[in-house]
């Protein structure tokens, strides 16, 4: 008896009744669109992105133009957030100040994601001695605070945006690599990987076509979380004088040059920058929290 | 037996909140368990069995809620109890044991502490509580209770953990004991011991029992009455004997037909199946829930929900046509084309295969000196408990694991390289596998089309138009259709996923397909369809199977030859019928005796004592001597017996001569007709 | 078995420190050419050797042995870190436990989102905001952590509260989040169900069965936070002009005072290793599966 002459009373099984669902990605998007956390975060993030892109066209003053006569005036109608010690308009500087950090931090995150994913895939897939050595080194590397790694690298390499991107990117890469590695370790034990071996698939196919699509969710979550930390790190480095350099109206930098005077009561020179950083960091982390929730429901 | 009811469910309805909707899991379930009675609740996964149990103890998951009806324990309405009264009810009158005892015990507390705290609740403390705990452990036949008291759960085997869990459940002398799949996941011989224990305790104790299981045979052995649950509804109820011998609901009828019973074999005909699917949780059901899958269904069944008809003698059936239920036509024709016995040279010849792992610096012999041969179109069944080396052996064949030096694997007369990477393309496609769990075996990111096309490309060497044509044939040969191709695995049910996995294994016209527990993750009705499919494919393509399963009925149905493994060694090897009907190795005898049978024929039972030894530290002499009920003396402890030919093609590794085995096993395991 | 995990780690830290150091040495060699004709590894080896014997080298800037500076700074930093730690560990764990017990209720949302928000803020941002609130507007606390010479413990504590607060906030979210997810997992577990169904009072279930299993992972997290804490110290000590190991490293890096920099960093490496070791030890003592794992 062959398959073709099976009697008509033997209908092909229909797909399971609950097929009429969204695709996995559709479900994630749906759950994101209903997550208040995510939407709030996205709103804050988009606000600062718009400021970074178009801020200089609508701010009332040139954020770099100093006006010594008007220096250190408290917030008032003509200077909503007051002026700093060089008489620059704080409001204009805060609005435009998102530009550098929103260039450097995402680029560093992208670098970290690409390097970390590649590294994590390779060590997770091949295991063995390479994995042992690399993971130990990564573990140790992660034990050193990013601030200190950056400090050392910048002392050695000099300060530039590129240095900051590379330093933050490379010091975050191990963290992403670790996440990817543990996801890959779980995946490679699954039978579809054995099935690929039983088709004589090459390592590259198995890693990138079979395994990679399944570890995208944790990578996405980790990337959004890392973006938050990249902003954290860039702001901190700028504050320490190792990040973005003058005359940029960068927030961390502004706080660094003005906080020495808070004892004198010139609070407006630092408060608004601090709140700006706070809102951006919290915004990105709300997004990350939303993404995490959507993937782990 | 008094008339007092230990448990009474009235119109119990439970719903789980998924998304923003309440989805009904239980629909108006009525059920009464009398004092001292053992009641079995059976049904396939998703029918709401466990929800019944959790409702009774009011421990539903966060998203679950009781939407109607009442639950009375010892006459008290459970739903009206306040927190303190509920706690007292749990402490005094109801206990529960569930699946996976390893998780049910607290990993960071000693067994003793976990037991004594129960007695402390009743006001017994200190040494008195300790003594009671020891007594309780004695009662569940734990041989060294004082030392077990000092241990942590991870230091005990699964069987021991479940005994401890049972001891904890019985410690408060409950009037109601709920057992929710208490032996699922345990090895066959261990399961048999635990079931024996429960059976003995039942006689000693007064507790009523609610026994929940997917395994009809287990329930039939343990319970007085049984209820069949389908889509959250009780569809049939009655005494165990009546329901299993004279079912009155088409679902029960069909379910019983799905099981390979009484030594049924593939050449004696197909198993029956149940077409279609269980209604999804929360589905809107008009009429009879089973109508879509029932060949007897009429317009009336689709329109008018059947009530629970009373059939006398305490029998109930939720079917308009309960009197005709047994005339349910088969969903799958039984007849199968007879295949001529083959005399072809073996397709597979394995000689002296060994695999040693290193475990904590000690060698662990997972597979020791295994030799088997298999002809085209034959099935070799591998049987044995966990740690027996079945899966390792399969992986050695596939080349996923490299064997120790020395042994040889020949495929169609040609040496097969130990490692997959050094095998030729032809050899790779010739040996394929169907894994146990299709969720793990199918890449969840890929569509079915991608999965099968890739296999056809790599294993079949096809591309373009020929690939598309072949893809269509392949899909049809496993009884899927084109519309299944576009979806991802998670959109298919377990049975359909397993069909995809089978199709993938057959993409390159394999000579040997390893089936590693291919149906154990599936429900009975789905299992039957998969077994039929495997048998059909085999008779059509002359493929050989290595079939691994813990279910002896299933193995027997599909296998021509059987290898019984224990601690990596073949204890017995031979034609399926010879191995099953005996005389057989004492271990085989014990395994067969451990299988719970639907047809309650109390046969001479053989129970194994003790735990399966670790393969890293196997016993001296015959590795089975520590548990062997037929041990003859010192020779068993000192000298490992050879595999000797008892009859042509039937070999047994035992010091007892074949004739003696035949005599000992004379009142042999009663074979259910 | 018990110490295995811990013993590997210190080695790691040493190896990791070698990385950035080797670079530093190269830079060092170019800039100063101070007796660097030996191979880097030999140099590094002998420097480690000397370090372990208490000789940390000589500062380029101060033209004086490094050791006293480092030891002084370490003591100061320990005080600051201790204040933060003593506050954050119990409060963080308590926050997480309370959140988990109120799973998905408003209190949980407040603790979780609040914790997340304060955790992700850079220390200098929270530092500035706290200084403005408590130091400038309310004038409750001093804005620099420089107490008068010979001040008593209480006075020192008074000066340390403000700098410790940003560290507290950063760690609070981490610890609370870990404790919360550990609790939720333990509450959902089968053994908790067993305990509840035994009829044990809710308090006993939580105290005896849930907490211990729930908080084990948190202990490890607390130790790994030492690394972040040290990073935070660099910033906080700079902001509050506090003479600790962080500001020592910062100043050394700015002034390219390499012996000082190296000594500072090796010191925090050791501190980190010790913290990890302690956490590892605690974890294995509390977890019978590790303590008695070999018996089976």
Going by pLDDT thresholds of 50, 70 and 90, the confidence category of residue C11 is very low
User: CB C197 to CB B95 under 8 A?
Assistant: yes
Q: Which residues contact B232 (CB under 8 A, 6 or more apart)?
A: B14, B24, B25, B26, B27, B29, B47, B48, B51, B281
pLDDT band at B376 (very low <50, low <70, confident <90, very high): very high
Local confidence band at B230 (pLDDT 50, 70, 90 cut-offs): very high
Q: Of B57, B62, B83, which has the smallest distance from its Cβ to C197's Cβ?
A: B57
Cβ–Cβ gap B105/C194 under 8 Å: yes
**C249 in contact with A, Cβ within 8 Å:** yes
Cβ(A4)–Cβ(B542) below 8 Å: no
**C129 vs C40, residue with greater confidence:** C129
List the 215-244 stretch of C: residues with Cβ below 8 A of A. Answer: 224, 227-228, 230-232, 234-235, 238-239
Is residue C23 predicted with pLDDT exceeding 60?
Answer: no
Minimum-distance CB partner of C16 among A141, A229, A262: A141
Number of Cβ within 10 Å of residue B313's Cβ equals 8
Helix (H, G, I), strand (E, B) or coil at B184: coil
DSSP-derived letter for residue B188 is H
User: Residue B399 in contact with residue B419, Cβ under 8 Å?
Assistant: yes
pLDDT tier for residue B112 given thresholds of 50, 70 and 90: very high
Angle at B48 between CA B517 and CA B523, to 5 degrees: 20
Specify the 3-state DSSP secondary structure of B48: coil
Residue among B88, B90, B108 minimizing CB distance to C213: B108
Distance from CA of B251 to the nearest CA of C (A): 32
Confidence at residue B651, expressed as pLDDT on a 0 to 100 scale: 93
CA atoms of B8 and B79, how far apart (whole Å): 12
With contact defined as beta carbons under 8 Å apart, do B111 and B102 qualify? Answer: no
Residues of chain B contacting A201 with CB distance shorter than 8 Å: 458
A121-173 pLDDT, tens digit per residue, is 999 998 888 888 888 777 777 667 777 777 777 777 777 888 889 989 988 99
- Do A15 and B433 make contact, defined as CB atoms within 8 angstroms? no
Instruction: With CB atoms and an 8 Å threshold, state whether B487 touches A19.
Output: yes
Confidence (pLDDT) at B474: 94
A254-to-A47, A271, C234 alpha-carbon distances in Å: 20, 10, 19
**Tokens 């259910």 sit on residue:** B672
Distance CA B148, CA B162 (A): 13
Q: Residue B506 pLDDT more than 60?
A: yes
- C-alpha distances (whole Å) from B366 to each of A146, B157, B394 are 47, 19, 12
Chain B hits for A11, CB-CB cut-off 8 Å, are: 275
User: Averaged over A52-70, what is the pLDDT?
Assistant: 78
Q: Which two tokens stand for residue B176?
A: 């109601």
Distance of CA C217 to the CA centre of its chain: 16
Rounded to a whole number of angstroms, the distance from the CA of A210 to the nearest CA of chain B is 7
Distance from CA of A132 to the nearest CA of B (A): 18
* Mutation site for A-interface testing, chosen from C125, C234, C239, C280 by largest number of A Cβ within 10 Å: C125
Burial class, A176, CB count within 10 angstroms (exposed 0-12 / middle 13-18 / buried 19+) = buried
CB C199 to CB B89 under 8 A?
yes
Q: What are the pLDDT digits (tens) for B515-534?
A: 999 998 888 888 999 999 99
Chain C neighbors of A148, CB-CB under 8 A = 230-231, 234, 249, 265, 268
Percent of chain A residues topping a pLDDT of 70: 90
Q: How far apart are the CA of B282 and the nearest CA of chain A, in angstroms? A: 11
Best CA proximity match to A250, nearest among A44, A42, A55: A55
Contacts of A284 in chain C (CB under 8 A): 120
Q: What is the mean pLDDT of residues A99-114?
A: 94
Q: Which of residues 236-265 of A touch C (CB under 8 A)?
A: 236, 239-241, 252, 255, 259, 262-263, 265
**CB-based contact, A297 to chain B, within 8 Å:** no
Interface contact A277, partner C, CB < 8 A: yes
- Compute the average pLDDT of residues B627-649: 89
pLDDT confidence band for B600 (50 / 70 / 90)? low
> Helix or strand or coil: residue B298?
coil
**Residues A228, C120: C-beta atoms closer than 8 Å:** yes
Q: Are C108 and C102 in contact (CB under 8 A)?
A: yes
Tell me how far apart the alpha carbons of residues C56 and C73 are, in angstroms, rounded to a whole number.
Answer: 14
Residue A11 sits at the chain B interface (C-beta within 8 Å):
yes
Which residues 6+ apart lie within 8 Å of B228 measured at CB? B42, B43, B234, B235, B236, B237, B243, B249, B251, B252, B255
CA distance B91 to chain C (A): 4
Letter string b/e over residues C158-190, b meaning 16 or more CB atoms within 10 A of that residue's CB: bbbbbbbbbbbbbbbbbbbbbbbbbbbebbebb
No. of helices (H) and no. of strands (E), chain B: 24, 24
pLDDT category at B423 given cuts 50, 70, 90 is very high
Residues of chain C contacting A236 with CB distance shorter than 8 Å: 122-124, 235
Over residues B569-596, the pLDDT tens digits come to: 999 999 999 999 878 999 999 998 888 8
Residues of A in contact with C132 (CB under 8 A): 262, 267, 270-271
Q: What's the pLDDT score for residue C52? A: 61
Of B529, B550, B531, which is closest to residue B539 (Cα–Cα)?
Answer: B531
User: Could you tell me if B539 lies within 8 Å of chain A, comparing CB atoms?
Assistant: yes
> Mean pLDDT across the stretch C98-110?
91
- Quick one: pLDDT band at residue B337, thresholds 50, 70, 90? low
**Is the separation of the CB atoms in B522 and B278 below 8 Å?**
no
The residue among C264 and B375 whose pLDDT is bigger is B375
Q: What is the mean pLDDT of residues C162-189?
A: 91
> Is residue B488 less than 8 Å (CB to CB) from chain A?
yes
| pLDDT surpasses 80 at B356 | yes
Chains with ≥3 Cβ pairs under 8 A against C? Answer: A, B
Using CB atoms, pick whichever of B87, B94, B152 lies closest to residue C292: B152
The strand pairing partners of B414, in sequence order, are B411
Whether the link from the prior residue into B583 is cis, omega within 30° of 0, is yes
Confidence of residue A68 (pLDDT cuts 50, 70, 90): confident
Hey, CA dihedral for A204, A207, A213, A218, is it positive or negative? negative
Backbone torsions φ then ψ of A12, nearest 5 degrees: -65, 140
Average pLDDT over residues A83-87: 74
DSSP assigned state of A1: -
Percent of chain B at pLDDT exceeding 90? 58
The answer, for C130 touching chain A at a CB cutoff of 8 Å, is: no
DSSP assigned state of C134: I
pLDDT tens across B473-493, in order?
A: 999 999 898 889 999 998 888
CA B8 to chain CA centroid, Å, is 30
What pLDDT is attached to residue A143?
A: 67
What's the pLDDT at C43?
52
Residue B260: HSE in the Cβ half-sphere, 13 Å Cα cutoff: 25
pLDDT at C149 over 80: no
Pick the closest to residue B395 from A183, A188, A197, A187 (CA basis): A197
pLDDT, position B189: 86
Q: What is the pLDDT of residue C4?
A: 29
Categorize the per-residue pLDDT at B455 as very low, low, confident or very high, splitting at 50, 70 and 90: very high
What is the average pLDDT across B215-223?
89
- Which of A44, A142, A151, A154 is the best residue to mutate to test the C interface, defined by the most C CB atoms within 10 Å of its own CB? A151
Query: Which pLDDT score is estimated for C5?
Result: 27
Residue A241's pLDDT is 83
The answer to whether the CB atoms of B491 and A19 lie below 8 A apart is yes
Tell me the C-alpha distance between B309 and B323, whole Å.
Answer: 11
pLDDT of B323 higher than 60: yes
Q: Which residue of A has its CA nearest to B425?
A: A200
- Which pLDDT value is given to residue B576? 92
B388 vs B343: which has the higher pLDDT: B388
Contact A171, A146 (CB under 8 A): yes
Query: Cβ B105–C289 below 8 Å, yes or no?
Result: no
* E-state strands within C165-274: none
Provide ipTM, 2 decimals.
0.87
Chain B contacts to C (CB-CB under 8 A)? 57, 59, 62, 83, 87-92, 94-96, 98, 100, 103-109, 117-118, 121, 152, 154-155, 165, 168, 172
Distance CA B7, CA B33 (A): 5
Query: Does the distance separating the beta carbons of A14 and B428 come in below 8 Å?
Result: no
Structure tokens belonging to residue B120: 């402390």
pLDDT of residue C56: 63
Q: In terms of pLDDT, which residue wins out, A20 or B366?
A: B366
Question: What mean pLDDT, rounded, does chain A reach?
Answer: 82
Choose among B111, B524, B110, B512: nearest CA to B278. Answer: B524
C4 part of contact set with chain A, CB < 8 Å:
no
Q: Residue B108 contacts by C-beta under 8 Å, 6 or more apart in sequence?
A: B152, C212, C213, C216, C286, C287, C288, C289
Does A267 lie at the interface with C, CB-CB under 8 angstroms? Answer: yes
Order of strands, sheet of B650-653, starting from the edge strand that comes earlier in the sequence: B431-434, B512-516, B544-548, B379-383, B561-566, B569-575, B650-653, B643-647
CA distance B158 to B583: 31
Q: Would you place residue C35 in the very low, low, confident or very high pLDDT band (cuts 50, 70, 90)? A: very low
CA separation for the pair B105, C209 (Å, rounded): 10
- Cβ contacts (< 8 Å) between B489 and chain A: which residues? none
Residues in A closer than 8 angstroms to B283, CB to CB, are 17
Give the confidence band of B70 by pLDDT, cuts at 50, 70, 90: very high
For chain B, the average pLDDT equals 89
The 10s digit of each residue's pLDDT in B156-184 is: 988 899 999 999 999 988 999 999 999 88
Calculate what percentage of chain B has a pLDDT beyond 70. 97
Which residue is listed with tokens 């550990």?
C182
User: Which bin fits C35, alpha (ψ -120 to 50), beta or left (φ > 0)?
Assistant: left
**Phi and psi for B277 in degrees, rounded to 5?**
-135, 155
- Encode pLDDT of A38-47 as tens digits: 999 999 999 9
- Continuous H helices in B122-157: 126-139, 145-149
A and B: number of Cβ contacts within 8 A: 106
Contact: A265, C136; criterion CB under 8 Å: yes
3-state secondary structure of B143: coil
* Rg, Å, chain C Cα set: 23
Interhelix angle C211-239/C153-187, rounded to 10 degrees, is 140
The interface residues of chain C toward chain A in range 33-72, judged by CB-CB distance below 8 A, are none
């Amino acid at each position: 008896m062959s398959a073709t002459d099976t009697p008509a009373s033997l209908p092909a099984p229909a797909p399971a009744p609950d097929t009429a669902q969204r695709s996995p990605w559709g479900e994630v998007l749906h759950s994101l669109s209903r997550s208040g956390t995510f939407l709030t975060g996205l709103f804050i993030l988009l606000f600062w992105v718009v400021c970074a892109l178009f801020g200089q066209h609508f701010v009332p003053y040139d954020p770099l133009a100093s006006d010594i006569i008007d220096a250190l005036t408290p917030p008032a109608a003509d200077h909503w957030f007051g002026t700093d010690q060089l008489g620059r308009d704080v409001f204009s500087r805060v609005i435009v100040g998102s530009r550098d950090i929103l260039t450097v931090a995402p680029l560093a995150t992208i670098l970290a994601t690409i390097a970390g994913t590649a590294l994590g895939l390779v060590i997770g897939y091949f295991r063995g001695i390479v994995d042992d050595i690399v993971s130990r080194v990564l573990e140790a590397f992660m034990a050193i605070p990013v601030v200190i790694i950056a400090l050392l690298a910048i002392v050695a390499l000099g300060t530039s945006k590129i240095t900051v991107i590379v330093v933050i990117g490379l010091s975050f890469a191990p963290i992403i690599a670790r996440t990817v590695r543990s996801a890959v370790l779980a995946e490679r034990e699954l039978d579809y990987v054995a099935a690929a071996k039983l088709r004589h698939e090459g390592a590259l196919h198995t890693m990138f076509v079979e395994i990679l699509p399944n570890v995208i969710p944790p990578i996405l979550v980790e990337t959004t979380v890392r973006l938050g930390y990249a902003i954290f790190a860039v702001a901190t480095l700028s504050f320490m004088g190792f990040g973005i350099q003058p005359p940029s109206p960068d927030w961390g930098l502004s706080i660094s040059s003005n906080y020495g005077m808070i004892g004198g009561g010139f609070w407006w020179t630092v408060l608004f920058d601090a709140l700006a950083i706070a809102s951006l960091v919290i915004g990105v982390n709300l997004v990350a929290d939303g993404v995490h929730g959507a993937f782990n429901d | 037996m008094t008339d007092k009811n230990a448990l009474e469910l009235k119109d119990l309805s439970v719903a789980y909140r998924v998304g923003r909707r309440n989805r009904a899991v239980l629909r108006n379930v009525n059920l009464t368990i009398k004092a001292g009675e053992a009641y079995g609740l059976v049904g396939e996964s998703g029918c709401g069995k466990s929800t019944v149990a959790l409702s009774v103890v009011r421990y539903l998951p966060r998203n679950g809620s009781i939407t109607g009806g009442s639950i009375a324990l010892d006459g008290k309405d459970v739903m009206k109890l306040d927190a303190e009264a509920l706690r007292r009810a749990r402490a005094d009158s109801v206990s529960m044991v569930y699946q996976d005892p390893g998780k049910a015990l607290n990993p960071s507390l000693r067994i003793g502490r976990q037991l004594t705290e129960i007695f402390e609740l009743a006001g017994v403390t200190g040494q008195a509580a300790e003594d009671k705990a020891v007594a309780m452990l004695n009662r569940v036949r734990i041989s060294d209770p004082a030392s077990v008291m000092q241990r942590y759960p991870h230091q005990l085997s699964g069987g021991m953990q479940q005994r401890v869990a049972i001891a904890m459940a019985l410690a408060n002398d409950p009037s109601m004991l709920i057992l929710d799949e208490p032996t699922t996941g345990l090895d066959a011989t261990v399961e048999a011991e635990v079931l024996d224990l429960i059976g003995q305790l039942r006689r000693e104790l007064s507790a009523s029992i609610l026994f929940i299981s997917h395994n009809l045979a287990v329930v039939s052995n343990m319970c007085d009455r049984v209820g069949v649950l389908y889509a959250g509804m009780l569809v049939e109820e009655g005494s165990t004997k009546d329901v299993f011998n004279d079912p009155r609901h088409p679902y029960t009828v069909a379910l019983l037909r799905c099981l390979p019973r009484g030594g049924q074999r593939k050449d004696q005909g197909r198993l029956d199946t149940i077409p279609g699917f269980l209604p999804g949780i929360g589905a809107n059901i008009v009429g009879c829930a089973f109508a879509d899958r029932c060949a007897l269904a009429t317009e009336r069944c689709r329109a008018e929900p059947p009530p629970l008809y009373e059939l006398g003698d305490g029998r109930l059936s939720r079917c308009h046509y309960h009197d005709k239920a047994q005339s349910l036509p088969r969903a799958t024709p039984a007849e199968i084309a007879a295949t001529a016995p083959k005399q072809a040279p073996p397709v597979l010849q394995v000689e002296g295969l060994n695999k040693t792992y290193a475990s904590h610096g000690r060698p662990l012999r997972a597979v020791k000196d295994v030799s088997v041969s298999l002809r085209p179109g034959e099935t070799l069944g591998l049987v044995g408990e966990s740690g027996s080396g079945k899966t390792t052996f399969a992986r050695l064949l596939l080349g996923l694991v490299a064997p120790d030096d020395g042994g040889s694997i020949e495929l169609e007369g040609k040496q097969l390289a130990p490692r997959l990477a050094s095998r030729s393309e032809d050899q790779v496609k010739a040996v394929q596998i169907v894994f146990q769990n299709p969720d793990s075996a199918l890449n969840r990111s890929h569509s079915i089309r991608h999965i099968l096309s890739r296999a056809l490309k790599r294993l079949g060497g096809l591309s373009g138009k020929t690939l598309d044509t072949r893809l269509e044939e392949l899909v049809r040969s496993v009884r899927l259709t084109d519309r299944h191709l576009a979806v991802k695995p998670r959109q298919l049910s377990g049975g359909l996923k397993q069909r995809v996995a089978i199709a993938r294994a057959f993409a390159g016209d394999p000579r040997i397909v390893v089936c590693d527990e291919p149906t154990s993750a599936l429900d009975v009705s789905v299992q039957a369809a998969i077994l039929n499919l495997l048998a059909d494919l085999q008779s059509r393509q002359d493929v050989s199977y290595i079939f691994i399963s813990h279910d002896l009925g299933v193995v027997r149905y599909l296998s021509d030859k059987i290898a019984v493994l224990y601690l990596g060694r073949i204890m017995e090897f031979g034609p399926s019928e010879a191995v099953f009907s005996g005389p057989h190795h004492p271990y085989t005898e014990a395994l067969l005796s451990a299988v719970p049978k639907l047809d309650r024929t109390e046969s001479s039972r053989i129970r194994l004592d003790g735990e399966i030894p670790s393969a890293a530290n196997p016993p001296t002499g015959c590795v089975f001597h520590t548990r062997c009920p037929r041990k003859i003396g010192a020779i068993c402890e000192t000298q490992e017996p050879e595999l000797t030919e008892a009859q042509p093609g039937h070999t047994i590794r035992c010091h007892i001569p074949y004739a003696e085995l035949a005599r000992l096993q004379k009142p042999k395991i009663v074979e259910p007709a | 078995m018990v110490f295995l995990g811990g013993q590997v780690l210190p080695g790691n830290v040493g190896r990791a420190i070698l990385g950035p150091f080797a670079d530093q040495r190269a830079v060092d060699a170019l800039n100063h050419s101070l007796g660097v004709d030996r191979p880097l590894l030999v140099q590094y080896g002998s420097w480690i050797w000397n370090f372990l014997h208490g000789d940390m080298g000589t500062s380029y800037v101060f033209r004086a042995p490094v050791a006293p500076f480092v030891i002084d700074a370490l003591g100061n930093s320990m005080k600051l870190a201790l204040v933060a730690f003593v506050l954050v560990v119990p409060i963080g764990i308590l926050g997480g436990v309370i959140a988990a017990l109120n799973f998905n209720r408003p209190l949980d949302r407040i603790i979780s989102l609040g914790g997340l928000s304060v955790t992700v803020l850079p220390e200098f941002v929270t530092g500035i905001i706290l200084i403005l609130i408590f130091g400038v507007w309310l004038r409750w606390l001093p804005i620099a952590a420089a107490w008068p010479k010979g001040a008593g413990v209480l006075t020192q504590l008074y000066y340390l509260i403000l700098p410790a607060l940003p560290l507290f906030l950063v760690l609070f979210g981490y610890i609370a989040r870990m404790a919360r997810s550990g609790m939720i997992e333990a509450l959902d577990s089968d053994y908790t169900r067993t305990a509840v169904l035994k009829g044990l009072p809710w308090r006993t279930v939580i105290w005896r069965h849930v907490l211990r299993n729930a908080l084990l992972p948190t202990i490890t997290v607390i130790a790994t936070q030492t690394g972040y804490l040290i990073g935070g110290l660099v910033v906080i000590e700079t902001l509050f002009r506090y003479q600790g190991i962080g500001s020592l490293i910062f100043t050394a890096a700015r002034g390219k005072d390499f012996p000082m920099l190296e000594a500072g960093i090796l010191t925090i490496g050791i501190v980190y290793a010790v913290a990890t070791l302690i956490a590892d030890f605690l974890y294995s003592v509390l977890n019978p599966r590790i303590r008695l794992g070999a018996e089976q």
